[in-house]
Amino acid sequence: MQERLQKIISRAGICSRRKAEQLLLEKRIYVNGSIAAIGEKADITKDKVSIDNYILTNNIECRVILLNKPSGVICSCRDTHSRETVIDLLPNKYKKGMYPVGRLDKNSRGAILITNNGLLTYQLTHPSYDHKKVYEVLISGQPTNGTLSLWRKGIKIDGKLTKTALIEILAKKGSNTLLKVVLTEGRKRQIRKTAAKFGHSVIDLNRVEIASIKLNGLREGQWRELNQEEWHLLLK
């Protein structure tokens, strides 16, 4: 049965009908490979409806889970070495078709989103969307003002300049320093590599916020499912 695209997209849990209209105006919705127009209809059981590079699938209930990942747990759906993964921390009914969004290395802890929503994954991981991620990072030693200034401006890591970052000293912990680090990109082990460039090692790395979603008292190993209003805010 043919239905308006706004209704199809809203029912799939992607965004509101009003937001779907905006996506149509931005020419980001396609039907069978052609740019869709306001008022256009489609049959989700026969037509290929896509937003950016994400193809809508019929009759799949979208879920988004916020997990406070403990250190030592792998950000993966499965691990060939039988190490514990973030999916292992979820009840069985939430495991099928779910995968972590982005990365948080084994020795780091904190906020990670897990979903079966491909569009959300695309928008949270694609560099053009600039979603912020907030970390509390304990480093060895005490960085100079010059170090913090260079870190904020960006330095070359693996041959590529990092984006500007917000760096703030939260506290001195004996001979170590607790920093607040805000990034809008998610390169592999970026904070650890940057700290090492300046002669500091990372003692503890805790992500406390990802794309406006905060842990807010969620304990390590605990999780909660986001409501539609929360994860619609993640979709630009």
Using CA atoms, how far residue 154 sits from 120, 167, 204, in Å, is 27, 11, 21
The residues with which 50 forms a beta bridge, in sequence order, are 30, 55
Q: Which residues are catalytic?
A: 105
Phi, psi angle pair for 155, to nearest 5°: -135, 165
Give the tokens for residue 145.
């003002």
| Rounded distance between C-alpha atoms, residue 235 and residue 131, angstroms | 10
Using CA atoms, how far residue 139 sits from 103, 133, 213, in Å, is 20, 18, 25
Of 11, 66, 61, 31, the C-alpha closest to 230 is 66
Query: Is the distance from CB of 170 to CB of 183 less than 8 angstroms?
Result: no
CA angle 102, 105, 107 (to 5 degrees): 150
